[in-house]
Chains A and B, each alone.
Chain A
Amino acid sequence: MKYALLIYADPAIAPAEGSVEFAAEMEGWFAYSTKLAEAGSMLGGEGLLDGHTATSVRVRDGKTVTYDGPFAETKEVLGGFYIIDVDNLDAAIEWASKIPNVGYGTVEVRPVMEVPDQG
Chain B
Amino acid sequence: MAARHSPVPTVVSAVDAAFRAEWSGLVAVLRREFGDLQVAEDAAQEAFATAPRAWRRDGVPERPGAWLLVTARRRAIDTLRRGKALDERMATLVDAPPPSASEILDDQLALIFGCCHPALSVDAQVALTLRTVCGLSTDQIAHAFLVPGPTMGKRIVRAKDKIRRAGIPFDVPPVEHLDERVEGVAAVIYAVFTEGHASSRGATLIRGDLCDEAIWLAETTSELLPTHGDLHALSALCLLTDARRAARYDSAGSPVLLAEQDRDRWDRAKVTKGLDHLIAARRHEAQGAYRPQAEIAAIHSMAPCYEATEWSAIVTVYDQWLEAGGGPVVALNRAAAIGERDGSEAALAALAPLLDSGTLDDYHYAHIAHATHLRALGRDEDAIRAYDRAIAVCTNDAEGTWIRAQRAELTRDGPRRSSAG
**A residues with CB within 8 A of B:** 1, 3, 87-90, 92-93, 109, 111
- B171: chain A residues at CB < 8 Å are 88, 90
> Nearest Cβ distance between residue B256 and chain A, in whole angstroms?
47
**B residues with CB within 8 A of A:** 117, 119, 165-169, 171, 173
- A89: chain B residues at CB < 8 Å are 117, 119, 166-169
Contact partner, B173, options A1, A90, A92, A111, Cβ 8 Å: A90
> Nearest Cβ distance between residue A95 and chain B, in whole angstroms?
13
- B169: chain A residues at CB < 8 Å are 87-90
Task: Let me know if A88 and B168 touch, CB within 8 A.
Answer: yes
Task: Let me know if A93 and B119 touch, CB within 8 A.
Answer: yes
Q: Which 9 A-B pairs have the closest CB atoms?
A: A88-B169, A1-B167, A88-B167, A89-B167, A89-B168, A111-B166, A90-B169, A89-B166, A89-B119
CA distance A88 to B110 in the complex (A): 14
> Nearest Cβ distance between residue A80 and chain B, in whole angstroms?
21
Interface centre among A1, A3, A90 (most CB of B within 10 A): A90
- B119: chain A residues at CB < 8 Å are 89, 93
Given contact pairs A1-B167, A87-B167, A89-B119, a sample of 6 additional A-B residue pairs in the complex whose CB atoms are under 8 Å apart? A88-B169, A88-B171, A89-B168, A90-B169, A92-B167, A93-B119
The 15 sampled A-B contact pairs (Cβ below 8 Å) are: A1-B167, A3-B167, A87-B167, A87-B169, A88-B167, A88-B168, A89-B119, A89-B166, A89-B168, A89-B169, A90-B169, A90-B171, A93-B119, A109-B166, A111-B167
- A88: chain B residues at CB < 8 Å are 167-169, 171
CA distance A101 to B344 in the complex (A): 53
- B165: chain A residues at CB < 8 Å are 111
CA distance A92 to B165 in the complex (A): 13
CA distance A111 to B165 in the complex (A): 7
Interface centre among A1, A3, A89, A92 (most CB of B within 10 A): A89
CA distance A87 to B168 in the complex (A): 10
> Nearest Cβ distance between residue B193 and chain A, in whole angstroms?
27
- A1: chain B residues at CB < 8 Å are 167
CA distance A92 to B168 in the complex (A): 10
> Nearest Cβ distance between residue B331 and chain A, in whole angstroms?
32
- A109: chain B residues at CB < 8 Å are 166
> Nearest Cβ distance between residue A107 and chain B, in whole angstroms?
13
- B168: chain A residues at CB < 8 Å are 88-90
- A111: chain B residues at CB < 8 Å are 165-167
- A3: chain B residues at CB < 8 Å are 167
- B173: chain A residues at CB < 8 Å are 90
> Nearest Cβ distance between residue A119 and chain B, in whole angstroms?
14
CA distance A109 to B117 in the complex (A): 15
- A87: chain B residues at CB < 8 Å are 167, 169
Nearest B-chain residue to A114, judged by Cβ: B165
CA distance A33 to B168 in the complex (A): 24
- A93: chain B residues at CB < 8 Å are 119
> Nearest Cβ distance between residue A115 and chain B, in whole angstroms?
14
> Nearest Cβ distance between residue B111 and chain A, in whole angstroms?
15
CA distance A3 to B166 in the complex (A): 9
Interface centre among A1, A3, A87, A88 (most CB of B within 10 A): A88
CA distance A88 to B169 in the complex (A): 6
- B167: chain A residues at CB < 8 Å are 1, 3, 87-89, 92, 111
> Nearest Cβ distance between residue B173 and chain A, in whole angstroms?
7
> Nearest Cβ distance between residue B302 and chain A, in whole angstroms?
43
Nearest A-chain residue to B177, judged by Cβ: A90
CA distance A3 to B169 in the complex (A): 14
Nearest B-chain residue to A92, judged by Cβ: B167
CA distance A111 to B167 in the complex (A): 8
> Nearest Cβ distance between residue B356 and chain A, in whole angstroms?
34
> Nearest Cβ distance between residue A73 and chain B, in whole angstroms?
26
Nearest B-chain residue to A93, judged by Cβ: B119
Interface centre among B166, B167, B173 (most CB of A within 10 A): B167
> Nearest Cβ distance between residue B129 and chain A, in whole angstroms?
18
Nearest B-chain residue to A86, judged by Cβ: B167
- B117: chain A residues at CB < 8 Å are 89
> Nearest Cβ distance between residue B180 and chain A, in whole angstroms?
12
> Nearest Cβ distance between residue B176 and chain A, in whole angstroms?
10
CA distance A89 to B114 in the complex (A): 11
- A90: chain B residues at CB < 8 Å are 168-169, 171, 173
> Nearest Cβ distance between residue A84 and chain B, in whole angstroms?
12
> Nearest Cβ distance between residue B168 and chain A, in whole angstroms?
5
CA distance A87 to B119 in the complex (A): 16
> Nearest Cβ distance between residue B161 and chain A, in whole angstroms?
11
CA distance A90 to B118 in the complex (A): 10
